[in-house]
Amino acid sequence: MHSYNPESNSYNAEKHGSAGRSCGRLREALKKQKMKTKTNKKKGIKKIYIIMGIALLILIVGWIFLRFAIGGSEDSWIKDNSGIWIKHGNPAEIPSYVLEQQDTMNCAVGKFDSFTGKVSSQCLGTCGDYAVDLVHVPRNGEDNLAENQCSDYNKGIVQHFIELDNEGNIVRIV
């Protein structure tokens, strides 16, 4: 018979001779196997964390590459739907083409503010290489008639035009 001591979680090998010693060896072997299993599980979990960390790092680096190398600068000037250059982000400087457009828009709004009454052909005149034209919002067929457009644009004297609504707001720039 084996004598088991629950407080020390052991068999008394002295009382039971070789049978007790073989049980002790078996118990020690099982303890070693448990420790190896725990160690292997820890190593396996550690490997999984390392692999997940590397995958996450690759995703972050890939996102940064796509965002900045391919996606372009956040600090730039972009054209909106009406053709006006809009500041996007915080660009370091204003390009000359943006400054030119801003001057032309100020000129066009100034022409609208200074006119009184009806203008022939709905043309307010020119500002640089732009004809300033009044249009309906929304545009209608009347706006497309040659007699309602600036003759300088139709003749090719100026290459671009700015359309204003009846309140002096810029509709589009072409």
- In DSSP notation, 26-78 reads HHHHHHHHHHHHHHHHHHHHHHHHHHHHHHHHHHHHHHHIIIIIIS--SSEEE
Tokens standing for residue 22: 């073989």
6, 16, 31, 141 from 2: Cα distances, Å: 12, 7, 20, 108
Model confidence pLDDT, tens digit, residues 62-78: 888 877 777 666 778 88
Average pLDDT over residues 107-114: 89
CB-CB neighbours of 59 under 10 Å:
10
> How far is it, in rounded angstroms, from Cα 2 to Cα 17?
10
93 shares a domain with 34: no
CB-CB neighbours of 79 under 10 Å:
12
Per-residue pLDDT at 18 = 56
Bridge-based pairing state of the strands 4-5 and 123-127: unpaired
CB-CB neighbours of 163 under 10 Å:
24
Per-residue pLDDT at 53 = 93
pTM for the model: 0.55
Per-residue pLDDT at 131 = 92
Average pLDDT over residues 97-118: 87
Residue 89 CA, distance from chain mean position: 12
CB-CB neighbours of 171 under 10 Å:
18
Residue 22, pLDDT > 80, answer no
Coil, strand, or helix at residue 128?
A: coil
137 shares a domain with 112: yes
Any domain includes 80: no
Q: In the structure, what pLDDT confidence band is assigned to residue 19 with cuts at 50, 70 and 90?
A: low
Lowest mean pLDDT among 37-41, 45-49, 55-59, 82-86: 37-41
57 shares a domain with 91: no
Tokens standing for residue 38: 């725990």
Q: How many domains does the chain have?
A: 2
**pLDDT top residue among 19 and 34:** 34
Question: Among the three residues 39, 70, 101, which one is the final residue of a domain in this structure?
Answer: 70
Any domain includes 76: no
Per-residue pLDDT at 99 = 93
Tokens standing for residue 88: 């996007």
123 shares a domain with 59: no
**Domain around 113:** 85-173
Cross-strand partners of 127 = 130
